[in-house]
Chain A
Amino acid sequence: MDPAGPAFFVSLGIFLFVLLAIVLRWMHETTAALLGAVLLWLVHYLGGSAISSLRIVGFDESIAAVDWNVIFLILGMMIFMAMFSETGVLRWLAYRVFHLTRGNVWLLGLALVLLTGFVSSLLNNVTAMLLLVPLSIQIAETVGVHPFVYVIPEVMAANIGGAATLIGDPPSTIVGSHLGLGFWGYAIRAAPVVLVLLGVLVGLSLLLYRRELAAARKRASPVLLQELEARSRITDAPLLRKAGLVGLVTLLLFFVAERFELPPSVVAMTGAVWLIVWVRPDMRRMLQEVDWTTLFFFIGIFVLVAGLEEAGVVARMAGALGRWAGNSLPKATALMIWASGLFSGVVDNIPITVAVLPIAGQLSQTIPAAQGNPVLYWALIFGADLGGNLTYVGSAANIVAVGLLAQAGYRITFGRFLRDGAVVTVATLTVVTFWLLVLW
């Protein structure tokens, strides 16, 4: 297809329109993605009948471009999370952390970051935020610390922790699935650097918030303490036992799966269906709790990016980036990390990851040293995950945390988030750049 023909501009125009609609909140993200996909199909069938070069991507090719491993992996994890969240275990865990630190505000900051990082590596970040942030706000108010001091590092820990496993954050799932990585194959490569990054975050948070932490009130209110404790109990112990056992077996199955080349989606669905069969929830309610908007958002974005590939936009972008990097793998790696990081700082990282993935694939074939070396893919994963910390619109988890803070009467401005987000993003992207350049 002619790279500078009408197909090129139409597919790029539709994709940019969808990005703009998402960034400027003209409509729901899923509405924007589906609108873009339908426009692409209409151009293909209606426009293509008049101008043959507008035959960009038809329905069948679009559906073939959807990574169903990603869709079913996310669906399986959603079913698992929906049941897990009903047990009250995360609130109980966060309260235990508060109790164990005996109200020491410094230790509490460290413990909440580590807890969130760990939880986010296994649950999606939005779920982690919805379950942990309300309690963290209450804990902060109980000990007399401004809630920003705990919540901002927590949401950043969620974005960092999500990079640790294949199921932690969408960029990890999308790129990991594309590379054919299993759960443990991914975690062994990513988790060590995520631990280092969480250490960097803890250090920076204690430094950035040292004044607020030092000014903490020493004595907590007994009424508030009582309320915290009363609301932080396990709400469904039998369900927790079942979900815990199935979760553990599913993790082991992820390990065995790599020997049998079982896709991660099959493992996640096996665990989810086993849990459904065991717990016997109301199936109608269960399916209502699955967030279909996310799944259709993914499908819409996959279709849009198929259009970009077919119209030659991806090849052109990859060519430009390759020339800019001078066919040097270290330069291309650094460029991939920082460009995807900066874009993910202002746009949802799902469309960025899906769009840049084929560019990383083409660069991996055209740059001589990149052949057989997945470093550009890892650069994309970490850039897209860590870049989400830059602004409060950088990730869905940030929007949720900021929304929850506002609901408690603590409104955070764009500039206030950026002040801390920029420091953490630059520091973590720098660490990852060195890690990737040294390791690969």
Chain B
Amino acid sequence: MGRILCATRGGPDSQRTQQSAIALAKERGDELVFLYVADSSFLDNIAAAVVVDVDAELEQMGRFQLLMAQEQAAEQGVAAEIAIRHGHLRPSLEQAARELAATLIVLGRPQKGTAVFDEADLQEFARTLAAGTAAEVVMV
């Protein structure tokens, strides 16, 4: 039995990716793990009084996003696990894939105007990820 890793943030653009990962887990009988990467780099260039534990706040928000994904999987008869990591998306995803021994990584294709990556960037990342983790990478 393999393990599918689906990196997700939540929001409407992630729905398609989550649904595809759930369908793949069901079809292949694999375990499914939803991963949230809490990245606080949006605070990097601003001079503002950040006296709050930002990582803890992001982790709570991420946990909530993953619970929604987990709930959707349960509605379709798939028991999904959740995992949270801190840092930039790319290295954190690659490291999590290795730690969790993922055999398949599901990435969402960029949606117009609101994506983190553009198509070419994502394909390059998928190649790097596949080479660095020995997992199959699919873009949905």
Is A407's CB under 8 angstroms from B52's CB? no
Taking the closest CB of chain A, its distance from the CB of B48, in whole angstroms, is 4
Interface flag for B38 (CB, 8 Å)? yes
Judge whether B43 and A403 touch: CB under 8 Å.
yes
Min CB distance A381 to B, Å, is 19
How many angstroms from the CA of A408 to the CA of B57 in the assembled complex?
12
- Whether A294 contacts B48 in the complex (CB less than 8 A), given A131-B57, A400-B42, A409-B11, comes out as yes
Minimum C-beta distance from B89 to chain A (A): 10
* B62 surroundings in chain A (CB, below 8 A): 407
Q: Which residue of A lies closest to B17 (CB)?
A: A409
* Cβ-defined contact, B45 with A409, below 8 A: no
Give CA–CA (A296, B49) in the complex, Å: 11
Closest B residue, CB atoms, query A77 = B49
**B39 and A130 contact, CB distance less than 8 A:** no
Identity of the chain B residue whose Cβ is nearest the Cβ of A399 in the assembled complex: B46
Interface hits, A26-56 → B, CB 8 Å: 27-30, 33
Instruction: Give residues 6-40 of B contacting A (CB, 8 Å).
Output: 8-14, 38-39
**Is A224 an interface residue, CB under 8 A from the partner?**
yes
Closest CB in chain A relative to B123 CB, distance in Å: 20
Query: Does B67 touch A at the CB level, under 8 Å?
Result: yes
Of listed A85, A130, A223, A402, residue having the most chain B CB within 10 A: A130
The A362-400 residues at the B interface (CB cut-off 8 A) are 396-397, 399-400
A406 to B113, CA, bound (A): 13
A404 contacts B50, C-beta separation under 8 Å: no
In this complex, what residue of B is CB-closest to A128? B52
For A138, A221, A231, which residue has the most chain B Cβ atoms within 10 angstroms?
Answer: A138
A206, B131: Cα distance in complex, Å: 50
Cβ of A410: which chain B residues have Cβ within 8 Å of it? 10-12
Would you call A291 an interface residue if the criterion is a C-beta within 8 Å of the partner chain's C-beta atoms? yes
Q: Which residues of A contact B49 (CB under 8 A)?
A: 74, 77-78, 81, 124, 126-127, 291, 294
> Chain B residues in contact with chain A, CB under 8 A?
8-14, 38-39, 42-54, 57-58, 60-65, 67-68, 71, 113-116
Q: Beyond the given A127-B50, A131-B52, could you list 4 further A-B residue pairs with CB under 8 A, ordered by the A residue number?
A: A224-B68, A396-B48, A406-B42, A409-B14
